[in-house]
Amino acid sequence: MGTRIESLPRSCQADRLMVTIKTGTHLPTRAGALNGVIVPEQPGKNAIEVRGVRKVFGTGENQVAALDTVSVSIRENEFFTLLGPSGCGKTTLLRLIAGFDFPTAGEILLHGQDIAPLPPYKRPVNTVFQSYALFPHMTVAQNIGFGLEMLGKPKAEIEARVAQMLKLVKMEALKARRTSQISGGQQQRVALARALAPQPKVLLLDEPLSALDYKLRKEMQIELKRLQHETGITFIFVTHDQEEALTMSDRIAVMSAGKILQVGTPRDIYDRPAERFVADFIGETNFLPGTVVSKQGGVATVKFASSATISAGYPEGFDPTGEVTLVVRPEHADLVADPAKGTIAGTLSNIVYFGTDTHYHVKLDGGDNFIVRHQNSRSSPVTYATGAKVGIQFEEDAARVLKD
């Protein structure tokens, strides 16, 4: 997966917009936090509250804790992403919320009510499956109407809602087709419409874009954001794709080995990772080993092998001592021609051109490697040659000491 972080143009949204749903009810929808903008920690109402949930599979010696005492709150109307590598427990958490599995311990609250013991058909929560799971013996329209039919809605209401859903996902023309007669992208839209039709309190999406090709995936990312804004439904989105998570989410929970490591806005997660794993999993990062010399007011002074020292912040609740690792994002550092002017110094070992930007690989005087990313512009004034002695400059708040 690419690790490039692009600044995509984002459409500005009104703070609140009203969407009229066919039934005549007005659903207020928050436009959602604009990506990259930090949303103030507002208590808000929680759509889902996961409290101390554990899930253990197997018995005896084969016991595996897929979820190790996880707690997280997901707000109403939020686009919330569970991000992590495969096997981190994100799909398990989604299945517990959907009701396909039951937690070994803990509570799952939906608008304050514990739903953990309820079977899936009693939860006002719908799922978009990774494989879509469309019913092959039914038409597109029958698939979309299935949930409403099971809820015992009157026929006229079902027809009206199905028509509205077909329009929402732009599938009116194909409503009479069998699901095997439509393309993967179209199946994806039907799966979305089917899950949205009963107007669930929360929509769960289990890596729904992973089967699509790159271009279609990009389109569907925008489409999903649009649907979330228009319906005002809370989305819980599971993915292992950090780029997808950063571009789409209001907030992200980064998971690893059955635990949630950090919850925050995309910018929080990217700029202020709480742990080394988070920094490593999301984007590219330079890791520099060093020793803490002193600490004062949330800033630690760290000494490197080259005997250079740096001041760096660290996450709240973490007390760095002794041997630590410092992280600096490649694009948060600059190259300077005079080694003495840099925060640290080294020798330029390699220059890799990427079109939009250039990566400078620097062998630090202490022996570690460091990558500086420089965005290319029409007039890049300075050109460097490999083998040159250079300095690397970065702001104090660009460097962070993290827990391993």
Partner 1 sequence: MAEPRVMDIKDQPGFRSIAIICLLVLYIPVLILMIFSFNSGSLVTHWEGVTLNWYGSAFLNEEFHSAAKNTLIISVTATIVSTICATLAAIGMTRVKPWRGLAAAFMIINLPLMVPEIITAVATLSFFALIAGTLGLNFGIGNLIFAHTVFCIPFAYMPIRARLEDMDLTLEYAAADLYATPWNAFKRITLPLLVPGIMSGAALAFIVSFDDFTITQLVAGPGQTTLPLYIWNQIRRPMTPEINAISTILLLVSILFVSVSFLIARRRAK
- Provide the binding-site residues for partner 1, judged by CB under 8 A: 98-100, 119-122, 125-127, 129, 131, 133-137, 146-147, 150-151, 178, 180, 194-195, 198
Minimum distance of partner 1 from residue 137's CB (angstroms): 5
Contact criterion met (CB below 8 Å) for 220 and 140: no
Q: Please report, as a single letter, which amino acid is at residue 237.
A: F
Minimum distance of partner 1 from residue 224's CB (angstroms): 18
Q: Residue 125 or 326: which CB sits closer to partner 1?
A: 125
Q: Residue 145 or 283: which CB sits closer to partner 1?
A: 145
Tabulate helix, strand, coil % of the chain (nearest 5).
Answer: 25, 35, 40
Minimum distance of partner 1 from residue 95's CB (angstroms): 9
Pairing of strands 234-239, 309-313: unpaired
Q: Residue 33 or 190: which CB sits closer to partner 1?
A: 190
Stated length of the chain: 404
Contact criterion met (CB below 8 Å) for 360 and 374: yes
- Spatial separation of the C-alpha atoms in residues 381 and 391, rounded to whole Å: 17
- Spatial separation of the C-alpha atoms in residues 179 and 186, rounded to whole Å: 9
Q: Residue 140 or 390: which CB sits closer to partner 1?
A: 140
Minimum distance of partner 1 from residue 327's CB (angstroms): 39
Sequence-ordered alpha helix ranges (H) in 169-205: 184-196
Q: Residue 195 or 288: which CB sits closer to partner 1?
A: 195
Distances (CA, A) of 107 to 49, 56, 114: 8, 15, 6
- Spatial separation of the C-alpha atoms in residues 143 and 135, rounded to whole Å: 6
Count other C-beta atoms under 10 Å from residue 275's C-beta. Answer: 17
SS3 of 194, please? helix
Minimum distance of partner 1 from residue 146's CB (angstroms): 5
- Spatial separation of the C-alpha atoms in residues 279 and 285, rounded to whole Å: 7
SS3 of 146, please? helix
Helix pair 214-231, 155-168: axis angle to 10 deg = 130
Q: What is the DSSP letter of 91?
A: H
Minimum distance of partner 1 from residue 128's CB (angstroms): 9
Minimum distance of partner 1 from residue 156's CB (angstroms): 19
Minimum distance of partner 1 from residue 107's CB (angstroms): 21
Minimum distance of partner 1 from residue 76's CB (angstroms): 21
Q: Residue 205 or 398: which CB sits closer to partner 1?
A: 205
Q: Residue 169 or 324: which CB sits closer to partner 1?
A: 169
Contact criterion met (CB below 8 Å) for 335 and 372: yes
Q: Residue 206 or 250: which CB sits closer to partner 1?
A: 206
- Spatial separation of the C-alpha atoms in residues 196 and 98, rounded to whole Å: 14
Q: Please report, as a single letter, which amino acid is at residue 360.
A: Y
Q: Residue 126 or 231: which CB sits closer to partner 1?
A: 126
Q: Please report, as a single letter, which amino acid is at residue 137.
A: H
